[in-house]
């Protein structure tokens, strides 16, 4: 099965990104043909600083490779290195009804939060559809908040096929990432860069520990029993611990006599044990910047090789030479 996944380089990656998208994507490369792209064109809707965008793209590449992405099994590329996707986005725009985009939740949510109401933000689902349909993906892992974008991609694929009378595009199926849909931030809200409540996966260890010690808890006294299922610290701890370890800490919560500070220290130790090997690998890769660049260039060439026949079929279907 061919799987397509992408991530925006909009800042330092945090554990919400890791458990919500990175870890599931890395697991898929064990059994599927995975296309994974860094969505730098999508990021232009939010990132206006050119130097920051270039740095973010580089950081995302380093982070994924450090965490176990295998470029021999995963086609790993920058979106901007594959111009065929943008030509396809125009072909899809021709069949895209305005009403379909006007109903997109993401556009409404982002403009309500003060983002510029520009064409790129409005047409974001069309470019996302081009990302998906250009490789004829069978499966697209998505969170609940992105499911509508996949539905739009399926709608556009179906309409294009019907209008041209040719079966150019597959209708990709969603893989809904429900179990890790919400990772709490230090303030208890969903972890998000926009909320400023993140724990960066490759932040300086001392700073990460300080951030973990700031995770919001209630005011239950040290000696009193506590509910682990209502605690942000425990919710984060469970992401790193196995079932036996999680149950042991939950028992200490319920028994009383343990303060939240101790639980935060346990979380910090789990975090460090998990990411320390990846941090060492990232440092090695950072010293080999040309190697990382070569991996992205090779991934782009492989992606273009897969996409060009599909684009050629789409061009013929609409009457282009």
What stretches in the chain show pLDDT beneath 50? Answer: none
pLDDT reported for residue 280: 96
Q: Is residue 63 part of a domain?
A: yes
Task: Tell me the HSE value of 240 on the side-chain side, using a 13 A CA sphere.
Answer: 19
Is the domain of 152 the same as that of 95? yes
Looking up residue 254, the CATH number of its domain turns out to be 1.10.240.10
Q: Is residue 306 part of a domain?
A: yes
- CA angle 253–254–255, rounded 5-degree value: 95
Looking up residue 72, the CATH number of its domain turns out to be 3.40.50.620
d(CA 318, CA 163) in angstroms, rounded, equals 9
pLDDT reported for residue 115: 76
Whole-prediction pTM:
0.91
Is the domain of 79 the same as that of 172? yes
8 Å CB contact between 39 and 86: no
Is the domain of 225 the same as that of 170? no
Is the domain of 87 the same as that of 233? no
Return the bridge partners of 6, or none. 37
pLDDT in tens, 117-140: 889 889 999 999 999 999 999 999
Say which of 12, 147, 170, 190 is annotated catalytic. 190
- Please identify which residue in the block is written with the tokens 């330092």: 12
The parent domain of residue 157 ranges over 2-182+289-318
pLDDT reported for residue 149: 84
pLDDT reported for residue 180: 52
Q: Is residue 64 part of a domain?
A: yes
d(CA 229, CA 311) in angstroms, rounded, equals 49
d(CA 170, CA 153) in angstroms, rounded, equals 10
d(CA 209, CA 162) in angstroms, rounded, equals 55
Is the domain of 136 the same as that of 102? yes
Q: Token pair for residue 225?
A: 């029993």
8 Å CB contact between 43 and 63: no
pLDDT in tens, 58-75: 999 999 999 999 999 999
Q: Token pair for residue 138?
A: 């069978």
Is the domain of 261 the same as that of 167? no
Is the domain of 209 the same as that of 172? no
pLDDT reported for residue 113: 76
DSSP designation for 35: E
Tell me the H-state helices in 18-141.
Answer: 23-28, 40-43, 50-66, 84-95, 98-102, 105-112, 119-122, 124-134
d(CA 52, CA 82) in angstroms, rounded, equals 21
What strands lie across the sheet with 74-78, from one edge to the other? 74-78, 33-38, 2-7, 139-142, 173-176
The domain tally of the chain equals: 2
Return the bridge partners of 38, or none. 7, 78
Q: Alpha carbon 282 to chain centroid distance? A: 19
d(CA 72, CA 131) in angstroms, rounded, equals 21
d(CA 16, CA 247) in angstroms, rounded, equals 22
Q: Is residue 198 part of a domain?
A: no
Is the domain of 277 the same as that of 295? no
- Among 88, 90, 107, smallest CA distance to 99 is for 107
pLDDT reported for residue 178: 58
Say which of 193, 226, 264, 270 is annotated catalytic. 193
pLDDT reported for residue 294: 98
Q: Token pair for residue 173?
A: 């199926």
Is the domain of 162 the same as that of 231? no
Active site residue 193: yes
Q: Is residue 187 part of a domain?
A: no
Is the domain of 79 the same as that of 214? no
Is the domain of 98 the same as that of 7? yes
Q: Is residue 188 part of a domain?
A: no
8 Å CB contact between 220 and 233: no
d(CA 246, CA 235) in angstroms, rounded, equals 10
- Please identify which residue in the block is written with the tokens 């349909």: 133
- CA angle 272–277–278, rounded 5-degree value: 95
Say which of 110, 226, 264, 270 is annotated catalytic. 110
8 Å CB contact between 44 and 138: no
Q: Alpha carbon 13 to chain centroid distance? A: 9
Is the domain of 92 the same as that of 152? yes
Q: Is residue 196 part of a domain?
A: no
Q: Is residue 189 part of a domain?
A: no
């Amino acid at each position: 099965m061919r799987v397509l996944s992408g991530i925006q380089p909009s800042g330092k990656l945090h554990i919400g990104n890791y458990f919500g998208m990175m870890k599931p994507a890395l697991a898929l490369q064990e059994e599927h043909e995975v296309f994974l792209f860094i969505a730098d064109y999508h990021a232009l809707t939010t990132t206006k600083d050119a130097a920051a965008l270039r740095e973010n793209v580089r950081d995302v590449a380093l982070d994924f490779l450090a965490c176990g992405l295998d470029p021999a099994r995963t086609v790993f590329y920058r979106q901007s290195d594959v111009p065929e996707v943008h030509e396809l986005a125009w072909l899809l725009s021709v069949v895209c009804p305005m009403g379909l985009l006007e109903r997109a939740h993401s556009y409404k949510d982002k403009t309500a939060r003060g983002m510029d109401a520009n064409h790129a933000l409005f047409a974001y689902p069309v470019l996302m559809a081009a990302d998906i349909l250009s490789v004829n993906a069978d499966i697209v892992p998505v969170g609940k908040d992105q499911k509508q974008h996949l539905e739009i991609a399926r709608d556009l694929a179906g309409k294009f096929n019907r209008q041209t009378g040719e079966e150019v595009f597959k209708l990709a199926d969603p893989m809904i990432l429900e179990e890790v849909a919400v990772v709490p931030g230090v303030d208890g809200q969903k972890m998000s860069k926009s909320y400023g409540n993140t724990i960066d996966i490759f932040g300086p260890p001392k700073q990460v520990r300080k951030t973990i010690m700031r995770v919001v808890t209630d005011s239950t006294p040290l000696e009193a029993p506590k509910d682990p299922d209502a605690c942000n610290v425990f919710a984060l701890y469970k992401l790193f611990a196995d079932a036996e370890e999680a149950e042991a800490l939950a028992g200490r919560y319920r028994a009383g006599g343990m303060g939240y500070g101790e639980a935060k220290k346990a979380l910090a130790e789990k975090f460090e044990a998990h990411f320390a090997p990846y941090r060492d690998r990232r440092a090695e890769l950072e010293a080999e910047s040309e190697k990382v660049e070569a991996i992205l260039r090779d991934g782009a060439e492989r992606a273009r090789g897969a996409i060009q026949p599909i684009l050629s079929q789409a061009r013929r279907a609409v009457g282009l030479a």
